[in-house]
Amino acid sequence: MKKSMVTLVFLALCGQVLFPFTLYIGLQYTSSLNAAIYLSTTPALVLLINKLVFKERISSRNITGVVLSSLGVIYLVMQGDLFNLDTLRKLNRGDVWTMGSAVSWALFCAFLRIKPKSVGGNAFVAVSAVIGVVMLLPVLAFSTPTHPLMEIKAYMNSGFLFGLAYLVVFPSWLSYLLWNKGIQAIGATRGDIYSHPIPLSGGVLSILFLNVPLHTFHLVSSLLIASGIALCAGKAAEKSSQRVPVANRE
C-alpha cells in the first residue's frame, strides 16, 4: 500500500505538477513553436529512461534516433548557428523551462508502466489531480505576495472563464484520462508513438493562429527531430506488431 502511494505521488508530481507548471511558465517567455519542438524530444527521452532505469536494450537504430533528436534540439537552441556560443548566454529562460517540461512528461510516460494495476483509469486521474492540487497549494501561497490576486470582477470575465474551463476539461482532465486508457489498452511501447503528432500539431497551430514567425532553423531542427523520432518509432511499431498475435491468443 505504501509503495503504491509513493508511485502515485511520483507520477502525479511528474505528470500533473511539474509538466504543466514548467510548460506554462516557459510559454510566457518563449514561443509556442519552440515549446512544441522541445516537447517533440519526449520519445527519445523516454527511450533513454527505459535504458537507464528499466535496462531495456537500445538498438543501433534507436541510438541513431536519439542522436538525431538531440542534434535537432541543439540546433534549435543555437538558433541555427552552432558556432555562435554567445547564443547560449542569451538563452531564453522560457526555453529552459520548456525543456524541463519535456523531461517531466518523459518521466511520466516512462514510469507509467509501474502504476498500480489495482487503480483504474478514472481513479488514477482523480487521485493524481487531488495530489497535484495539494502539491501546488504551497506554490500558490508563495507566489501570491509577489503576484497579488486580481479583483473579483477580473475572474468573472467571459474570456477568463472560457479559458479556465478549457484548461480544466481538456488539458487537465480529458487528455490524461484518454491517454491513460490508451496506455492500458495497447501498452506504453505502442502508446508512446501517438505522442509524436502532439508537437507537430502544436507547431502548425501556433503558426496558423498565433502568428508565430517561422525561421529556417525551426524547419531544420524539426526535420532532425522528426527523423530521430521516425527511427525510434519504427522500431517500437515493429516490436508492437510482433506482440499482437500473443495478445490475440490470450
User: Cell numbers at residue 123, please?
Assistant: 481513479
Predicted structure pTM score: 0.76
Distances (CA, A) of 150 to 115, 139, 156, 158, 167: 39, 17, 11, 15, 19
Where in the chain are the domains?
2-242
Total residues found in the chain within this entry: 250
Work out the mean pLDDT of the chain and round it to a whole number.
79
Most confident of 62-71, 81-90, 146-155, 194-203: 62-71
The reported pLDDT for the residue numbered 19 is 93
pLDDT one-digit tens code per residue, 85-129:
776 666 788 989 999 999 999 999 889 888 888 887 778 888 888
Among the listed residues 166, 177, 46, the one whose alpha carbon sits nearest the alpha carbon of residue 113: 46
pLDDT, tens digit, 9 for 90 and up, residues 166-191: 888 888 888 888 887 887 777 665 66
Q: Are 22 and 101 in contact (CB under 8 A)?
A: yes
Q: What is the pLDDT of residue 129?
A: 87
Mean local confidence (pLDDT), 127-138:
89
Per-residue pLDDT at 22 exceeds 80:
yes
Across the range 192-209, mean pLDDT stands at: 72
Task: Please state, in angstroms and rounded to a whole number, the distance separating the CA atoms of residues 233 and 228.
Answer: 9
Q: Which of 40-49, 69-78, 142-151, 214-223 has the lowest mean pLDDT?
A: 142-151
Confidence of residue 243 (pLDDT cuts 50, 70, 90): very low
Which residue would you say has higher pLDDT here, 65 or 7? 7
